[in-house]
């Protein structure tokens, strides 16, 4: 139902107002509408209202009174229109069909109450699936990174997007593109990993899946959020411009250019004393003027008000709103606050230019036009709403496939896979806890824990449930809790392990929010020891002499020092989602061959932080420091139940070796390195390697390609990932993997602050991990050092095909 209130739409050729005319471009439609709007109507489009769908199906209930003082009644809120509705499904448990009907009723009220009859844009969280009751919960982003499988992540995001669209949602607040910098940070579980290329390629795939389903993807948190001091949530960020440009920003650029994201959520962070919410150079100068972004920038929840209350760069709410609007924030979320009465007063007084309001409004209305929300025939209720199902077999299938691919086998002395006939003790506090499979932004952990009377809304088998189906002689003892200090159960766990042939010891995290968990938003760690008394449990069980399979079900990597070296096997899983118990049980028993690789390093020392693999030489072990940051297991590491041979690495179609002798190999490289081959600073080189499955069972190898830049005008990481692919092979099968590497991927921020491709020697290194090189190709970038900009090549292409048959010489 459209508004019946009178409105002067202006000239209406073809019988329709220009702003409703679908033959005009979205921007033209926005430009036609803005001059018709009052200031109050303009500001109404720049705010959200936090609501919860009612299980009666009759409308939404505003929750803004829970968040801010002086909340406004619903009828008053919507009298001038409304920009966004905040999380109608993600605030309380509601039946999906009734929730969709409730949302549609609210949209009808918004349309009828305002002069122009424009529906609200509806957003929800969707990091591990549509954050709604009874919706499929997928693995967390660290698991996406561990899979090294962007295509499967894109498939997952497509399913998430279609389920949201079917419920009447328009925008998803995902993916998180923060590059892991300090594992102590509670939101490490929400990151994809510690390498910007892995984060960027995987994040762009997620964005493509969501956008192709018709959902506006919102990349976050732009930028620097994950680099906070001490790994503390919202703590200041001490970061130079090169770290920002070369490590933090590339995933966002990739997601915008390669994924097509239409929205950006800014970071809570302050970088070198400047809050991002007030940083015009970042939100407008770089994002829009530099990268050409034309979508919307939305505020992280309450972040505009934080300019006054936390950062203290604004003296009052109106000043905070002006700073944010001027910097480039278009929409205040989650609910109307500083962009309401305070901004209205600031514009009326002349403190804030109304042109800034119009600039933000143009972006908001353009996006609404793209979504069909300005169309005359827009309908409140989605088609086939009564058939709405948010958790189905197809979604669970994607969830379990991604979970299987993301399980990382770190160590195996031969105890895995577990033989089905032996006695197995399953020990540990997370072994029989379904919520131990889920991240903090899954609905059951994020919202459902506050409504225990509703239940999980999903079938989430624990590791114990699934292992019991595959192991006939299984006993279980929890030993302790995740975060408590009670050690009284350790003796029973030790007895169970002693009586078994093999002990599976499952330890890890319980995800939650703001101190209600050991991982998750606001659940930061002071060091990387296992929470609670779990370390004591591990030491006691390892002391039994029974072969122990240590299973880590965590939201961050925990330190695995020398005391853990006696484990017969170590398996890492990062919150695998609702089918994670099945995936883990299948890997442990050999039904599935593990193929995950570490998206973050696993440290050996619980202190000495922060440190990731992206370190220059002085970030590695040296004679000038007594602290050795070498990890227990490096980025990219992961084992299989089969074996692979890497051979015949070389360059294809290269211009030829330079006429000089090969030098000594670089540190960490075994064997001689050939004389360097020319590689033009504006060219591309093709590198190829052959992979053969030399084992007795099918498996998947993950081929990784790293760049080593031995001498540059600024210090560079010893190696950094520039390409990768999964290679599934049957026993005895061989594949040829070819990478097309543009010189642009060798670019970095030079002395002058510009991104350059610098001439000089470099190496391409094929590796099983960042620390295990299998072959090295020496090249020399030739030509004049070249400056590259936003249009540079971002991707290394990759092709996997059967290796050509070798002819018999006889």
Query: What mean pLDDT value characterizes the chain?
Result: 93
Q: SS3 for 507?
A: strand
Check residue 74 and give its pLDDT. 84
Give the pLDDT mean for 528-540. Answer: 97
Determine the distance from the C-alpha atom of residue 702 to the mean position of all C-alpha atoms in its chain, rounded to a whole number: 20
Check residue 735 and give its pLDDT. 98
Angle 393-406/580-589 helices, nearest 10 degrees? 50
pTM above 0.75, yes or no: yes
In this structure, is the dihedral angle defined by the CA atoms of residues 331, 337, 342 and 348, taken in order, positive or negative? Answer: positive
Q: Strand 720-729's sheet: what is its strand order?
A: 677-680, 772-782, 760-769, 699-708, 720-729
Check residue 379 and give its pLDDT. 86
- The residues with which 691 forms a beta bridge, in sequence order, are 646, 735
Q: Kindly tell me if the per-residue pLDDT of 695 is higher than 90.
A: yes
- The CA distances from residue 808 to 357, 501, 805, in Å, are 74, 49, 9
Determine the distance from the C-alpha atom of residue 67 to the mean position of all C-alpha atoms in its chain, rounded to a whole number: 27
pLDDT greater at residue 54 or residue 682: 682
Q: What are φ and ψ of residue 544, in 5° steps?
A: -75, -20
Check residue 42 and give its pLDDT. 98
Distance between first and last Cα of the chain: 82
Q: Are 90 and 131 in contact (CB under 8 A)?
A: yes
Q: How confident is the model at residue 372 (pLDDT cuts 50, 70, 90)?
A: very high
- CA-wise closest residue to 791 among 297, 198, 296, 292: 292
For 267-364, list the strands marked E by DSSP: 270-271, 274-275, 296-298
- CA-wise closest residue to 702 among 108, 91, 147: 147
- The CA distances from residue 789 to 239, 258, 286, 747, in Å, are 22, 15, 11, 10
Q: What is the pLDDT of residues 700-746, one digit of tens each?
A: 999 999 999 999 999 999 999 999 999 999 999 999 999 999 999 99
Give the pLDDT mean for 368-396. Answer: 91
- CA-wise closest residue to 253 among 806, 802, 798, 788: 788
Q: What percent of the chain has pLDDT over 70?
A: 92
Check residue 661 and give its pLDDT. 40
In this structure, is the dihedral angle defined by the CA atoms of residues 270, 273, 278 and 280, taken in order, positive or negative? Answer: negative
For 54-186, list the strands marked E by DSSP: 60-62, 84-86, 121-124, 171-172
Q: How confident is the model at residue 400 (pLDDT cuts 50, 70, 90)?
A: very high
Contacts of 425 (CB under 8 A, 6+ apart): 474, 475, 476, 477, 493, 496, 497, 499, 500, 502, 503, 504, 546
Pairing label, strands 48-53, 684-693: unpaired
Q: Kindly tell me if the per-residue pLDDT of 810 is higher than 60.
A: no
Pairing label, strands 216-222, 171-172: parallel
């Amino acid at each position: 139902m459209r508004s019946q209130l009178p409105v002067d739409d202006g000239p209406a050729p073809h019988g329709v107002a220009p702003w409703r005319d679908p033959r005009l471009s979205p921007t033209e439609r926005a430009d036609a509408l803005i001059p018709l709007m009052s200031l109050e109507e303009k500001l109404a489009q720049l705010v959200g209202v936090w609501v919860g769908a009612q299980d009666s199906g009759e409308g939404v209930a505003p929750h803004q009174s829970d968040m801010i003082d002086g909340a406004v009644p619903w009828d008053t809120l919507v009298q001038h229109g409304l920009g966004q509705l905040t999380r109608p499904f993600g605030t309380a448990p509601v039946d999906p069909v009734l929730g969709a009907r409730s949302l549609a009723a609210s949209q009808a009220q918004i349309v009828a109450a305002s002069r122009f009859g424009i529906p609200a844009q509806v957003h929800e969280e969707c990091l591990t699936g549509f954050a709604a009751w009874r919706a499929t919960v997928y693995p967390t982003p660290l698991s996406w990174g561990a899979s090294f499988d962007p295509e499967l992540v894109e498939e997952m995001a497509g399913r998430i997007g279609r389920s949201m669209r079917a419920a009447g949602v328009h925008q998803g607040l995902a993916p998180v593109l923060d590059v892991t910098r300090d594992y102590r940070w509670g939101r490490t579980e929400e990151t994809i990993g510690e390498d910007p290329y892995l984060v960027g390629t995987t994040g762009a795939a997620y964005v493509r899946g969501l956008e192709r389903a018709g959902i506006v993807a919102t990349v976050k948190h732009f930028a620097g959020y994950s680099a906070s001091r001490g790994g503390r949530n919202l703590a200041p960020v001490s970061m130079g411009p090169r770290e920002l440009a070369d490590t933090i920003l590339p995933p966002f650029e990739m997601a915008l250019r390669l994924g097509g994201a239409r929205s950006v959520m800014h970071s809570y962070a302050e970088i070198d004393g400047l809050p991002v919410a007030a940083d015009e150079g970042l939100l407008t100068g770089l994002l829009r003027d530099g990268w050409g972004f034309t979508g919307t920038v939305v505020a992280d929840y309450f972040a505009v008000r934080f300019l006054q209350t936390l950062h203290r760069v604004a003296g009052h709410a109106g000043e905070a709103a002006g700073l944010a609007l001027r910097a480039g924030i278009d929409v205040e979320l989650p609910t109307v606050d500083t962009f309401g009465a305070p901004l209205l007063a600031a514009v009326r007084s002349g403190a804030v230019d109304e042109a800034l309001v119009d600039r933000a409004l143009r972006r908001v209305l353009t996006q609404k036009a793209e979504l069909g929300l300005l169309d005359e025939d827009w309908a409140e209720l989605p088609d086939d709403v009564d058939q709405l199902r948010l958790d189905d077999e197809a979604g669970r299938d994607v969830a379990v496939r991604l979970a299987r691919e993301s399980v990382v086998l770190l160590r195996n002395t031969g105890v895995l896979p577990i033989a089905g006939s032996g006695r197995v003790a399953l020990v540990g506090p997370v072994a029989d806890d379904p919520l131990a499979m889920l991240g903090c932004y899954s609905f059951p952990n994020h919202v459902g824990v506050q409504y225990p009377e509703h239940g999980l809304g999903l079938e989430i088998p624990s590791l114990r449930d699934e292992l019991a189906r595959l192991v006939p002689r299984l006993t279980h003892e929890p030993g302790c809790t995740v975060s408590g200090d009670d050690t009284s159960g350790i003796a029973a766990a030790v007895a169970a392990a002693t009586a078994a042939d093999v002990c599976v010891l499952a330890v890890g995290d319980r995800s939650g929010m703001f101190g209600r968990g050991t991982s998750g938003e606001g659940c930061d760690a002071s060091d990387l020891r296992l929470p609670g008394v779990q370390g004591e449990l591990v030491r006691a069980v390892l002391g039994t002499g029974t072969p122990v399979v240590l299973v880590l079900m965590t939201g961050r990597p925990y330190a695995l020092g020398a005391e853990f070296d006696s484990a017969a096997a170590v398996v890492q899983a990062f919150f695998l989602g609702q089918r994670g118990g099945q995936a883990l049980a299948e890997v442990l028993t050999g039904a599935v061959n593990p193929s995950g690789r570490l998206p973050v390093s696993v440290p050996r020392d619980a202190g000495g932080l922060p440190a990731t693999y992206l370190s220059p030489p002085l970030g590695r072990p040296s004679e000038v420091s007594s602290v050795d940051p070498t990890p227990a297991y490096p980025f990219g590491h992961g084992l299989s139940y089969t074996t692979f041979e890497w051979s015949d690495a070389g360059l294809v179609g290269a211009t030829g070796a330079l006429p000089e002798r090969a030098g000594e190999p670089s540190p960490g490289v075994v064997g001689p390195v050939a004389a360097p081959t020319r590689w033009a600073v504006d060219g591309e080189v093709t590198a190829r390697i052959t992979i053969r499955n030399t084992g007795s069972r099918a498996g998947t190898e993950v081929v990784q390609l790293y760049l080593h830049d031995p001498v540059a005008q600024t210090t560079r990481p010893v190696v950094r990932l520039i390409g990768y692919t999964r290679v599934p092979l049957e026993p005895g099968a061989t594949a040829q993997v070819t990478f097309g590497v543009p010189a642009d991927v060798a670019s970095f921020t030079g002395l002058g602050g510009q991104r350059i491709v610098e001439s000089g020697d470099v190496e391409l290194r094929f590796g099983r991990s960042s620390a295990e090189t299998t072959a090295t190709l020496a090249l020399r970038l030739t030509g004049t050092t070249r400056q590259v900009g936003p249009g540079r090549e971002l991707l290394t292409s990759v092709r996997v095909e059967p290796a050509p048959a070798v002819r018999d010489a006889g």
